[in-house]
Amino acid sequence: MDENERAVMEGDAAQVKRASARRTRRSFLVGGVAAAAGYGAWYAIDNSKDSGRLQGGLRKMIDFDAAVNRAVWGERGMAPTYPPSEVAELRTNGTIGMDDPLKVDSWRLQLVGTADPERSPLFAKDVTAWQYEYAASDKPSELAPDYKTPPKEAGRGGPQAESLADKFNKMAQKLSGKRNQGTAEAGASYSSLNIGTPGLLLAMEDLAKLPKVELITQFKCIEGWSQIRQWAGYRLRDLMEMYPPQKVNGREPRYVYMETPDGDYYVGYDMKAARHPQSLLVTEMSGAPLTESHGAPLRLHTPIKYGYKQIKRIGLIAYTDLRPDDYWEKLGYDWYAGL
Ligand SMILES: Nc1nc2c(c(=O)[nH]1)N[C@H]1C(S)=C(S)[C@@H](COP(=O)(O)O)O[C@H]1N2
Ligand SMILES: [Mo]
């Protein structure tokens, strides 16, 4: 090796050393910040005193996210809107809870947790008894024979004993109009209604009393695609004003829960997201009535959340003070799913 080569080598070595020192310093910094944030989060959760230690800490993080959203989108925390010329050709994604074609005439919105439901002409003693009708399909209309054991229980040797949860679900399916509940990957929702839950049953004409709103916003799927879409429907906050929640301990419940008529897909929202002026109960997309695959007759759109929070084919809306179950959270995604 000559002088020159050695210089190059040493030069390289020195450069590599400098670069790696920089990298180390940077990763230390990043690591330090992450550790501090992690510690902060842990500390907040561990030291929050209100309503159970975990809940209080999580509550703060959700509020923090909302503050970030406001900072990003300005005072009112509104997502940007677009001119009609930018609206894209529709694509479709996700059909959990939409196995068989729903007969739209048989659709009702179960609304649970409202104040004084008995006084409403729409009152039903048991909203879970509502029978949604499905168009003929190649699937049998009784209990799905391909009823699956929840994934975490699969794989043990020998014939699988039916779990208590499975038994309960089958019974609940027979008694309430829900079919196929819990057959999708995440299993049954722990926020599903008990049989005998009173509430309101709204037809589309009842929803049509709310002001109709149109919106052109960006729709984002966490899988990495997005579209500018035109939506029309009713603000969720307007529905909530017409049918206000029953107070819990003198204050409003904290969450809104929604699920498909079969109970297979389900999503939870905090009140801020539910009352967001751009959170819409959608009946039309691209200027036409909602199609089957986009969730006819009613779906949710909210530009402040990822697509997986925008449930299609809504059967139930319930006010609740317990943080609702959420389909994709069970499979490892974020409950908040904020954008
Ligand atoms: N009932 C139901 N709603 C759903 C889903 C689903 O599988 N079932 N998928 C969600 C996901 S992940 C996305 S990205 C959007 C897709 O909406 P689109 O079909 O209008 O594109 O619906 C959301 N709502
Ligand atoms: Mo998605």
Residue 46 has pLDDT above 70, yes or no: no
**Domain count within the chain:** 2
pLDDT band at 332 (very low <50, low <70, confident <90, very high): very high
Which amino acid, 98? M
Task: For residues 19 and 127, state if they share a domain.
Answer: no
Task: For residues 287 and 212, state if they share a domain.
Answer: yes
Task: For residues 93 and 40, state if they share a domain.
Answer: no
Identify which has the larger pLDDT, 63 or 7: 63
Q: Give the closest residue (by CA) to ligand 1 atom 11.
A: 308
CATH number of the structural domain spanning residue 223? 3.90.420.10
Going from the Cα of 327 to the center of ligand 1, the distance in angstroms, rounded, reads 11
Task: For residues 112 and 240, state if they share a domain.
Answer: yes
Q: pTM for this one?
A: 0.73
Task: For residues 119 and 221, state if they share a domain.
Answer: yes
Going from the Cα of 310 to the center of ligand 1, the distance in angstroms, rounded, reads 6
Task: For residues 229 and 136, state if they share a domain.
Answer: yes
Task: Please indicate whether residue 220, judged by its CB atom, sits closer than 6 Å to ligand 1.
Answer: no
Task: For residues 15 and 119, state if they share a domain.
Answer: no
The DSSP line for 273-318 is HHH-TT-EEEEEETTEEPPGGGTTT-EEE-TTB-GGGS-SS--EEE
Task: For residues 1 and 109, state if they share a domain.
Answer: no
Going from the Cα of 305 to the center of ligand 2, the distance in angstroms, rounded, reads 10
Ligand nearest to the CA of 90: 1
Yes or no: say if 313 and 295 are a contact pair by the CB < 8 Å rule. Answer: yes
In-domain check, residue 163 = no
What are the backbone angles phi and psi of residue 66, rounded to the nearest 5°? -65, -40
Q: What is the pLDDT of residues 86-124, one digit of tens each?
A: 999 999 999 999 999 999 999 999 999 999 999 999 999
Q: Print the domain residue range for 37.
A: 1-47
- Residue reference for tokens 């079919």: 179
In-domain check, residue 159 = no
Going from the Cα of 147 to the center of ligand 1, the distance in angstroms, rounded, reads 22
pLDDT band at 182 (very low <50, low <70, confident <90, very high): confident
> Could you tell which of 95, 294, 312 is best to mutate to test the pocket of ligand 1, judged by most ligand atoms within 8 Å of the CB?
312
Task: Please indicate whether residue 128, judged by its CB atom, sits closer than 6 Å to ligand 1.
Answer: no
Other beta carbons within 10 angstroms of residue 136's beta carbon come to 8
Closest by CA to 307, choosing from 216, 218, 221, is 221
pLDDT band at 137 (very low <50, low <70, confident <90, very high): low
